[in-house]
Structure 1
Amino acid sequence: MAIDDLLDEHEQGERVRTWLRDNAAGLIGGLALGLLLIWGWRWWQAQRVQQSMQAGTQYQALIDTLQSGKLAQAQAQVEALPAGTYDTLAALALAEAQLAAGQRDAAIATLRAAKPDGAETAAIVEQRLARLLIDAGKAKEALALLPGDSRDPETLQVRGDAFSALGQKPQAQAAYSQALTGLEVGSPQRNVIELKLSEVGGAPAQPEARS
């Protein structure tokens, strides 16, 4: 190997060592930050798993309390649950037990206080709360609670119930008819809505004849 080549390699090595000395702190800091981020992510994931397991245990304890008929204790357990899926399920279960015990106003208060963490659970809470409000003679509040642009058959059915309770038959007919468009022929829910539609003076659309 030529002397010039050896000098070039030595010079390149010196440059690398100089660069490493100048940037050592940054490299070590970046590595430490990366390790810290990985540790933080794993810790956060572990915390979420632990919290979910704890909430599941609390939810099961609530169900056991409801089965024993201790509604006041169950309400305290619901309030102690962290916000999330179990919290919403617990509120729905408590409201159902309160309604079965003749405590409709308490069930309404329970559902009003619920904090659903997803669109599906939010819709279920809204529908059940709206039904209770209609039963309590507060159909206008029920209508305000339910989205007017919804295409969900269950939501539309409840809106139809609210309009019917208010004596607004044309609006009830429209809501029931729209609900039917999202249901299969012969489904139990469809039969119920068709009956409600008939009660407000409407008639289900006849299926188109097949050629």
Structure 2
Amino acid sequence: MAIELLDEHEQGERVREWLRRNGFGLFAGVVLGLGMIGGWQWWQRHQHGERVQAGEHYQAALASIQAGDLDAARNQAQELRKGGVYGALIAFDLAKAQFEAGDREAAIATLQQAADGADPALEPIRRQRLAQLLIDAGQAQEAATLLSDAADATGLETLGDARFALEQRDQARGAYEEALRRMDVAAPQRRLVELKLTQAGGKPSQPETI
């Protein structure tokens, strides 16, 4: 029994000695862990607040567009320059309204500026719409450069339009053919792309039947 008591005493001393050597590290680890949890919660609240604020800016800018006050909408859109999805959406709406109002250059500038902080999922749409405006403005080479790595059907179709405007018919046919390959057989746009391909000197292939 004496040996067992002595072992318990020695074990207790060893535990206390270990705590004396490592107690600060344990305390610091606990504090660090609590700090990380608190920091994460703060970051989540901060992100939520920014999303709410961006949504409010978007609604205000949209209301200005609908009211025909494009100058106010442009100023409000500046608040969403790096607003992710909201920034891209308001740029699309504003550019469309500017173009319809006869200010093509302003529409081009709006979509160019939207590249700063653009949402990756909407970036192909921004580039395709910008390219359409550039072609309309007689800047087909800039449009072709902008869409040189297009991988979606709509982007490839617009790339074909740019190449056709530059009288590069072989490249235009290639872009239209690739657009058709990436397009659903029942897509409403398909017939128009086939007509463009024919105009460029190509021949639409017949869809395979099972």
**TM-score normalized with structure 1 length:** 0.93
- CA-CA distance at 1:132 after TM superposition: 0.2
Identity of aligned residues (%): 49
Q: How does 1:39-50 map to 2 (within 5 A)?
A: 39-50=38-49
Kept in 2, the 8 Å contact 1:126–1:146? The answer is yes
Partner residue in 1 for 2:156: 156
Q: Does the residue aligned with 2:121 lie in a helix, a strand or coil?
A: helix
Q: Which runs of 5+ in 2 are unaligned?
A: none
Q: Which runs of 5+ in 1 are unaligned?
A: none
Q: In 2, distance between residues paired with 1:82 and 1:99?
A: 20
Partner residue in 2 for 1:143: 144
Answer with 184-193 or 92-101: which moved more.
184-193
Q: In 2, distance between residues paired with 1:9 and 1:191?
A: 88
Q: How does 1:79-158 map to 2 (within 5 A)?
A: 79-81=78-80, 83=82, 84-114=84-114, 115-148=116-149, 150-158=150-158
Q: Does the residue aligned with 1:29 lie in a helix, a strand or coil?
A: helix
Answer with 196-205 or 37-46: which moved more.
196-205
Q: In 1, distance between residues paired with 2:96 and 2:39?
A: 41
Q: Which amino acid aligns with 1:193?
A: V
**TM-score normalized with structure 2 length:** 0.94
Kept in 1, the 8 Å contact 2:81–2:117? The answer is no
Q: In 2, distance between residues paired with 1:116 and 1:127?
A: 17
Q: In 1, distance between residues paired with 2:40 and 2:7?
A: 45
Kept in 2, the 8 Å contact 1:85–1:116? The answer is no
- CA-CA distance at 1:24 after TM superposition: 1.8
Q: Which amino acid aligns with 2:125?
A: I
Kept in 2, the 8 Å contact 1:62–1:90? The answer is yes
Coordinate RMSD, CA, aligned = 1.4
Answer with 19-28 or 90-99: which moved more.
19-28
Q: Which amino acid aligns with 2:144?
A: L
Q: Which amino acid aligns with 1:44?
A: W
**How many pairs were matched up?**
208
Q: In 1, distance between residues paired with 2:60 and 2:28?
A: 47
- CA-CA distance at 1:117 after TM superposition: 3.5
Q: Which amino acid aligns with 1:46?
A: R
Are residues 53 and 179 of structure 1, via their aligned partners in 2, closer, same or farther at CA, if it must alter by over 3 Å?
same
Answer with 107-116 or 130-139: which moved more.
107-116
Partner residue in 2 for 1:3: 2
- CA-CA distance at 1:82 after TM superposition: 5.2
Q: Is residue 178 of structure 2 the alignment partner of residue 201 of structure 1?
A: no
